[in-house]
Amino acid sequence: MFSLAHISDLHLGPLPKAEAWHNYLGKRAIGYLSWTLRRRKIHDPQVIAALAEDIAAHSVDHVALTGDLINIALPAEYRNAAEWLKKFGSADWVTLVPGNHDAYVGVGWEKGLGLWAEYMTGEMRMPGVRPSLHNAAIFPFVRHRRNVALVGTSTAIPQTMRRAGGSLGAEQLKALAHILAELRQKGFFRILLIHHPPLPGQADDRKALSDSAHLKEVLEAEGVELVLHGHNHTHMRMDFKTKHGPAHVIGVSSASALAHQRKPPAAWHLYRIRRQDGVWLTETTVRTWNRTLHAFETEAEFILTN
Ligand SMILES: [Fe+2]
Ligand SMILES: [Fe+2]
């Protein structure tokens, strides 16, 4: 049995104060306003602390973190998030993929995503896969943990003013097809990690993955057992058929959110994956923040089969 915690969309706050004024221009000015007026009241650092404790209490084998650690890509936010990661867990225990807020505006690798690099590297190298334009890391990367393979992708590309979308790009999609085929032949339970909801129609146009139709074709052709994503800040589930069996697509709520408007409070998902009589059985638990109890509690449990 392999146990995996899935968390996403930490949106760590508060925003750092001591930053040069020129860091608040352009798109960041809008993001700063949105944080000050609205988002800082939604994303509560106390909830993240309780979530980390709840995960520790469950002694999971591994953690998948699907992006949006920060908010407006200030240099100090990357440094703070690197500190948070270090305190939360080691790089071989936590696998990270970046979200759109982690590339809110273009920031150099060294001062930006590069500070989290050890959480985003794998063991499997694919011929022809190169660092992407915006990330000097190699995506997709693969980490093997017993009979489970975690495949990390990046959809984090700086967007224009009002957009929160993302894309994988042709090179990542091509590499992904090779990776999924190889891992299938080796008999791994394949978990794809992606920040944006992966399938067409799962997010508003302004916030969507631009090449979701192409990704769906790759997944249908090569198969995948489980796809984990964040971005929509709500629990989502969708199943679809591939040429190699069923695929489950599950999105998790933000790890720091208090309930607001139509969005649920923070949650994390626990997956216990095992192989039994030639079938993959994945016991899934949704752990949700209870504001009154000031603790996480089980909201739902279900079993996935592949
Ligand atoms: Fe987010
Ligand atoms: Fe996002």
* C-alpha of residue 9 to centroid of ligand 2, in Å: 7
The bound ligand whose nearest atom lies closest to the alpha carbon of 203 is 2
Report whether 112 contacts 78 (CB < 8 A).
yes
Q: What are phi and psi of 38, to 5 degrees?
A: -135, -55
Which whole number is the average pLDDT over 260-288?
96
Burial class (CB in 10 A: 0-12, 13-18, 19+), 279: exposed
Ligand 2 centroid–CA 231 distance in Å is: 4
Q: Take residue 271 and report the two structure tokens written for it.
A: 């997956």
Residue 20: is its pLDDT beyond 90? Answer: no
List residues bridging with 110 in a β-sheet.
none
pLDDT of 136 strictly over 60: no
* Measured distance CA(214)–CA(212) in Å, rounded: 5
Measured from the alpha carbon of residue 159, the closest ligand is: 2
Give pLDDT, residue 261. Answer: 87
The predicted structure's pLDDT at residue 9: 98
Let me know: does 163 contact 206? Beta carbons within 8 Å.
yes
Predicted TM-score (pTM) of the model is 0.96
pLDDT tens-digit readout, 205-244: 999 999 999 999 999 999 999 999 999 999 999 999 999 9
- Ligand 1 centre distance from Cα of residue 231 (Å): 5
Ligand nearest to the CA of 98: 2
Closest-approaching ligand to the CA atom of 196: 2
Residues 6 or more apart in contact with residue 114 via CB below 8 angstroms? 108, 136, 137
* Pick from 104, 101, 155: nearest CA to 132: 155
Which ligand has the nearest atom to the CA of 69?
Answer: 1
Is the pLDDT score of 41 beyond 90? yes
What average pLDDT does the structure give for the chain? Answer: 93
Cβ pair 155, 168 in contact under 8 A: yes
Q: By the 8 A CB rule, do 140 and 120 touch?
A: no
Q: What one-character-per-residue DSSP string does 258-294 give?
A: PPBTTBPPPEEEEEEEEEETTEEEEEEEEEEEETTTT
- Of 116, 70, 58, nearest to 91 by C-alpha is 116
Does the pLDDT value for residue 131 go beyond 70?
no
